[in-house]
Amino acid sequence: MLFNSLDFAIFLPIVFVLYWFVTQRNLKIQNILILVSSYVFYGWWDYRFLALIVFSTLVDYSIGLQLAKSEKKSKRKLLLWTSILVNIGFLGFFKYYNFFVDNFVNAFSFFGNEIQPNTLNIILPVGISFYTFQTLSYTIDIYKRKLKPTNDFVAFGAFVSFFPQLVAGPIERATNLLPQFYKKRSFKYDNAVDGLRQILWGLFKKIVIADNCAYFVNTIFDNYADYGASTLFLGAVFFAFQIYGDFSGYSDIAIGTSRLFGFNLKQNFAFPYFSRDIAEFWRRWHISLSTWFRDYVYIPLGGSRGSIWNKIRNVFIIFLVSGFWHGANWTFIVWGGLNALYFLPLLIVKRNRVNTNVVAEFKIFPNLKESFGMLFTFIITVIAWIFFRADSLNHATQYISRLVDVSLFNIPEIRPTFLFVLIFIFILIEWAGRRQLYAIQTLWFRFPRIIRLFIYYLIAMTIFLYGGKEQEFIYFQF
């Protein structure tokens, strides 16, 4: 079920009414309603994969209880590795089976040996990468004694399958989200209004910015040989706004929807395109995944401690694994490796933690140094996004090779004026609201209520009038 679909527009009010007006007095019934609603939401796409998420829930729920009972180190390690192997095994099979088979065939073909292995027509379950990491963090935190296991299967099941963030995050930790299922929740008008405001902004990002960009991105990337360098660069820039509007828009809708039901999810994007270096970018982009890899992979490897070679190794591992998490294609691995190369100089000279505050924090405009840093970071990010968007390494390298041409300074062949205006307005609003959790959280609070309502109405009308052709969320494929 898509957030930007009629199905969800009907589904959400029904669940909301049942949640607050029918089941409000009983916390257990409320949690059951969330669990059932989440399974309906997930099963709407393909009910067959409900068994997979139920099985994953049962495995980690049972292992969590066993970890609490066991003090023997060897048994605790066995339980932990059982959870890891089961979860990663399912993820690996559904997401990477054909990738490994195809590369195995290619390796043999390179040496002149032709083999005909059996490949499978595997459908990738929506959200498997997200809920797998969510359940894994639960087991790992119990193993590290950072968290006590729950005896409430309904609460745990609702935590794993919580429908607002089930299929594309944010990837929530049990330490933050699970305890919220134990506490009685009461309706708070201000929270609900704030949630609706964030949903509105998320829909604007997705439907107006991302979906309109998608049309031109698809046209340019699918026919890159027909265009000059300036148009190709514009296509890459449009993709940068598409993926940001698409993914951060999803996160805004997920977080806003959660607030309607009395839950608080973590911020997942913090205006990453205003970053002054690539290290700051990765602290602001897909925060829930970046911190997951930091806490469960990077730090256990040694992090930024030890020799310079250990630091380089750890950085490459974390970025390559992150790239591979995104998809079974060498393009994602190269994208991760390229970002590692971007990041390394900052780590080596110990400048990776310089820009931790909000850019131009107490000013309207950034200074020259900040402006150059943002522009440079955005450009190298755009170049890396080409690998992320391309269908293959050959597609990406040919696309980039055509950028190195004097036509880069020509006027692009494709010039959608309405989209330029929309993106310009979008950037202005994001810049004005960069100190908030999302751009329009308190942006117009100085204005009278009637003016604010008119602005929100204007945003809603823009969604209806200028919304692009409905596109599935990009991160559904991950």
pLDDT per residue rounded down to tens, the chain (478 residues): 677 788 888 999 999 999 999 888 899 999 999 999 999 999 888 788 899 999 999 999 999 999 988 888 899 999 999 999 999 988 888 777 666 666 556 655 555 556 665 655 666 777 888 889 999 999 999 999 999 999 999 999 999 999 999 887 799 999 999 999 999 998 999 999 999 999 999 999 999 999 999 999 999 999 999 999 999 999 999 999 999 999 999 999 999 999 999 999 999 999 999 999 999 999 999 999 999 999 999 999 988 888 889 999 999 999 999 998 888 789 999 999 999 999 999 999 889 989 999 999 889 999 999 999 999 999 999 999 999 999 999 999 999 999 998 988 999 999 999 999 999 999 999 999 999 999 999 999 999 999 999 999 999 999 988 876 666 677 666 5
* Tokens 């019934």 sit on residue: 29
pLDDT of residue 122: 65
Is 326 one of the annotated active-site residues of the chain? Answer: yes
Among 259, 286, 326, 402, the one annotated catalytic: 326
pLDDT of residue 23: 86
pLDDT of residue 418: 92
pLDDT of residue 71: 85
pLDDT of residue 13: 94
Tell me the whole-structure pTM to 2 decimals. Answer: 0.92
Q: Which of 89, 92, 265, 272 is nearest to 191 (CA)?
A: 265
How far is CA 178 from its chain centroid?
A: 20
Catalogue the long-range contacts made by 435-439 (C-beta closer than 8 Å, 24 or more residues apart): 435/358, 435/361, 437/198, 437/267, 438/198, 438/201, 438/202, 438/252, 438/255, 439/201, 439/271
What burial class does residue 357 get, using C-beta atoms within 10 Å of its C-beta: 0-12 exposed, 13-18 middle, 19+ buried? exposed
